[in-house]
Structure 1
Amino acid sequence: MRERIEAASAAGYRGFGLLSDDLPAAVTAYGLGGIRAMLDDNGIVDLELEGIPYWWDDGARRQESDRVRRDLLEAAEALGARHIKVTPDVDDSPWDRGIWTAKFAELAAQADGVGARLGIEFFPWSNIKTLRDGLRLVDDAGHEGGGVIIDTWHFARGHTPPSDLATVPLHRIIGVELNDADKHVVGTLFEDTVHRRRYCGEGSFDVTAMISALRTAGWQGPWRVEILSDEHRELPVTAAVSRAAASARAVLNGLTRESQPRSAGRLRPPR
């Protein structure tokens, strides 16, 4: 973890993301106080915590879900997390919208109680497939601490025009994740998203148009980078983080790939 935080800081990132799966080992190694000190020492001011499994479930999986929830909420408070990210049901099973809105509102209130916001990320193969679906859920839940995470991969693969981002209510945008991809999906959507994402400006997405539309909506928060690919994972951490930062920075500043990148801003390191 220390290596990743230091590499992110050196590349100009001012944000960092931590999965709930990685949290127990990090706490064992450093303690929450030690993690907070590492973030502060490296100039990390925006922290995302991610991953509460089956947060909508009242069945057999609830006990484990609640354990992760408690750990993440405790960490969010101790580390000063900006927000907590959750995902939809990737099995796309039958679901009750009323239950989901109630559970989302409950979790948003709990996140608000520890000083964080709650964002749901929509996936095109899940029960919350599009930006419209995500906004409907959070609006029905009705908690001001809740909103959506907009990932350019999921947004583009959901065949939503970039102009739609300009009309998203600003208070419902919890976070933005930048990345790119080839024009055609290879394998399933899940396989394509975890194995073949591209660095910003190196794929087929109109990332510039999406950024412009979000700026029109008033977004001035951190621009995070989420590159999931076999190519990215094969690189040393420092090289991977630097390449992800430089490519995203070039797109944000309207530069060509060959131009000198400027200030990184608040970008999120890769996983």
Structure 2
Amino acid sequence: MADGRDLPATPEFVAACWTSAGDVMPLRGPDTSPLDVRTRIEAVARAGYTGFGLTHADLLVARETVGLPTVAQLLRDHGITTVQLERVVDWWTTGERKERSDALRQDLFDACAVLGVDNIKIGGDDDGEPVTYDALCAGFDALADAGREAGVRIAYENTPFSPPPIRTTEQAIDLVTDVGNANGGLMLDVWHAYRGGTPYDNLLRLAPERLFGVELDDGAAEVVGTQIEDTFDNRLFCGTGDFDVVSFVAVVRRLGWDGVWGIEHMSETDRKRPVETVLREAREAAALCIAQADERNAA
């Protein structure tokens, strides 16, 4: 690269939770994958990934069926070195909502030491209930502290359909920067950056140490249905849509990212196809975009 950094010869990838879950989507009836955790881990490894993601619901199923020590052994046996769990909301609230949020996060925390979790993804609420910026800052700081005690990093992922004051990636950058907790950072997803109208050069506002993960996908310029429906149903393989993933990756590289890349593929069409096929095609498409971005930066 032009800045002289040595990059991995072959990028490594995390299959974010929905990428290997098969024919299931959040907020649509059952929230657990029809595939057992062993099948998913095997498919992810055969498709060339070194990272694996699980939702809270699927973590509980795995815990109650095969047990977390067995899941940890499966991950080791299949060369999975990065584990990601999700998703905590309501961490800024009080009362019963906070109690439910704390119970969910404790399930995730309890799994961290067993599975060797790298980060837990969190986000804003999707029901549109307003919240103050100060409350979000205080809640994020407290959750990052709790994560440190549990031995796991907390990664905030913005969504354009969350209520104000944080929808855009710029606003999420402000949050992790203003809080300044070393254990709290940003999960940067090209989908949410594009849908939120973020010029990719604006990502350079983020301090490199606050970047905890990057997720790749692609999509059409126009939203189909609601923002949340579009997010769940219409993602495309990298390089096949309008998001200019190569330019996004080039900027992220300039920011200093040389870690594992997340693939978060959520497609109404592809979730009915064989999971391993979709995993492989998604990884290959992302790897091509990364290679093109690195070539551009090196020129």
Question: Which residue among 115, 124, 142 is the counterpart of 2:180?
Answer: 142
What 5-or-longer segments of structure 1 have no aligned partner?
Answer: 256-271
| SS of residue matched to 1:88 | coil
| SS of residue matched to 1:47 | strand
The answer for the alignment partner of 2:284 in structure 1 is 246
Query: Residue type of the partner of 2:215?
Result: E
Give a deviation string over 1:212-271, Cα, whole Å, max 9, x none. Answer: 00100101111110011111201111111111111111211229xxxxxxxxxxxxxxxx
Please say if 1:236 is aligned against 2:274: yes
Provide the rounded CA distance (Å) in 2 between the counterparts of 1:24 and 1:103. 25
Moved more, 98-107 or 54-63: 54-63
Give a deviation string over 1:5-35, Cα, whole Å, max 9, x none. Answer: 1111111101111111111110111212111
Give a deviation string over 1:93-121, Cα, whole Å, max 9, x none. Answer: 22122222111111101111222111110
Q: Flag as ranges the 4+ runs of structure 1 deviating above 3 A.
A: none
Provide the rounded CA distance (Å) in 1 between the counterparts of 2:136 and 2:199. 27
Provide the rounded CA distance (Å) in 1 between the counterparts of 2:180 and 2:207. 13
Provide the rounded CA distance (Å) in 1 between the counterparts of 2:247 and 2:128. 30
The answer for the alignment partner of 1:105 in structure 2 is 141
- Answer yes or no: is the 8 Å Cα contact 2:177–2:206 preserved in 1: no
% identical aligned pairs: 38
| SS of residue matched to 2:117 | coil
Please say if 1:214 is aligned against 2:280: no
| SS of residue matched to 1:230 | coil
- Answer yes or no: is the 8 Å Cα contact 2:170–2:202 preserved in 1: no
Moved more, 86-95 or 201-210: 86-95
Deviation for aligned residue 1:49: 0.7
The answer for the alignment partner of 1:196 in structure 2 is 234
Please say if 1:12 is aligned against 2:17: no
| SS of residue matched to 2:186 | strand
Please say if 1:173 is aligned against 2:211: yes
Moved more, 130-139 or 143-152: 130-139
Provide the rounded CA distance (Å) in 2 between the counterparts of 1:74 and 1:173. 24
Deviation for aligned residue 1:53: 3.3
- Answer yes or no: is the 8 Å Cα contact 1:166–1:215 preserved in 2: no
Question: Which residue among 210, 220, 224 is the counterpart of 2:262?
Answer: 224
- Answer yes or no: is the 8 Å Cα contact 2:216–2:238 preserved in 1: yes
- Superposition map of 1:35-114 within 5 A: 35-114=71-150
Distance 1:138 1:167, change over 3 A: closer
Provide the rounded CA distance (Å) in 1 between the counterparts of 2:93 and 2:57. 19
The answer for the alignment partner of 1:267 in structure 2 is none
Deviation for aligned residue 1:42: 0.6
Query: Residue type of the partner of 1:187?
Result: G
Moved more, 61-70 or 117-126: 61-70
Provide the rounded CA distance (Å) in 1 between the counterparts of 2:160 and 2:89. 18
Give a deviation string over 1:49-80, Cα, whole Å, max 9, x none. Answer: 11123222212222221211111011112211
Query: Residue type of the partner of 1:120?
Result: Y
What 5-or-longer segments of structure 2 have no aligned partner?
Answer: 1-36, 294-299
Deviation for aligned residue 1:205: 0.7
| SS of residue matched to 2:215 | strand
Query: Residue type of the partner of 1:39?
Result: L
Provide the rounded CA distance (Å) in 2 between the counterparts of 1:61 and 1:95. 13
| SS of residue matched to 2:240 | coil
Provide the rounded CA distance (Å) in 2 between the counterparts of 1:252 and 1:139. 27
TM-score under structure 2 normalisation?
0.82
TM-score under structure 1 normalisation?
0.90
Equivalences, count: 255
